[in-house]
Amino acid sequence: MKNVALKGKGQEYYLEISSYCDFNAALEDMKVLFDDLAKSTDKLTLIVDTQQRLLGEKQITELKQLIKSYHMLDLKQIVSAVDTKTSLNNILKKNQIQIESHIVRSGQILDYNGNLLLLGDVHAGAQVRATGSIFVVGVVEGIIHAGFPDNDDAVIAGNLGAARQIRISDLFQIVADLAMDNLEMDSFFYVNDLHTIAIDKIDNLATIKPQKEIIIS
């Protein structure tokens, strides 16, 4: 039974499938293990760890069916130490800063996934949206929407004195209504704990909204 191993880590039970064995052999071993367990346990919540192996759709259904056939077992999730390049790229994209250099003109709406560094002006009537934070080098006269549609962690920084509106997450702020002396080149906008848009100096960005490291889940 060296192909699979049941281990307790903290509060969880992990079923580790060896990376080097044949998957069908592992399933056979699992059956033996589960038959044993059925005699002694009446309830067990499992996390299956496939280690260096990435299961395909078919293998996942096979595994799920096997676990389902034992009533005392409850599959919490399937984890693995590896991931596909596509999903990694998507995660990286979300966390990387995209650099775009062009003028955004009236009537144009630009959408970005992740954080954006925009090198260029945003003209009146234009809109720039990103799911993450937006940093602008250039004059903003249009609308900047960071954290679109509902990411409160996003921030906006740049020359925003002439902007029409600042939007973060589901909030918006009409810039003309702000006290202008607050709005300097080195200020940034964020969503505070009261869920309203606030301004602070860029020096405080690190303490107010620490930049998160990449989390692969």
Quick one: which of 107, 184, 185, 192 contacts other proteins (CB under 8 A)? 107
The one-letter code for the residue type at 123 is H
Residue 37, exposed/middle/buried by CB under 10 A (0-12, 13-18, 19+)?
Answer: middle
d(CA 130, CA 116): 7
Phi, psi (deg, nearest 5) at residue 185: -55, -30
CA distance 163 to 157: 12
> Which CB atom, from 93 or from 123, has the smaller least distance to other proteins?
123
Site for other proteins in 9-28 (CB under 8 A): none
103 near other proteins, judged by CB under 8 A: yes
Nearer to other proteins, 117 or 124 (CB): 124
Of the ranges 6-14, 78-86, 106-114, 153-161, which one interacts with other proteins (CB under 8 A)? Answer: 106-114
User: By CB under 8 A, which span of 45-53, 63-71, 119-127, 178-186 interacts with other proteins?
Assistant: 119-127
Interaction mask 26-65, other proteins, x per CB under 8 A: ----------------------------------------
Phi, psi for 17 (deg, rounded to 5): -100, 125
- Helix axis angle, 57-68 to 23-40, nearest 10°: 20
Least Å distance, CB 120 to other proteins, is 9
- Compute CA distances 4 → 8, 29, 44, whole Å: 13, 7, 16
123 near other proteins, rule: CB under 8 A = yes
The tokens 């002439």 sit on which residue?
162
Comparing CB distances to other proteins, the nearer of 37 and 139 is 139
Between 79 and 103, whose beta carbon lies closer to other proteins? 103
Beta-carbon count within 10 A of 124 CB: 14
Query: Which residues contact other proteins (rule: CB under 8 A)?
Result: 103, 105-108, 121, 123-126
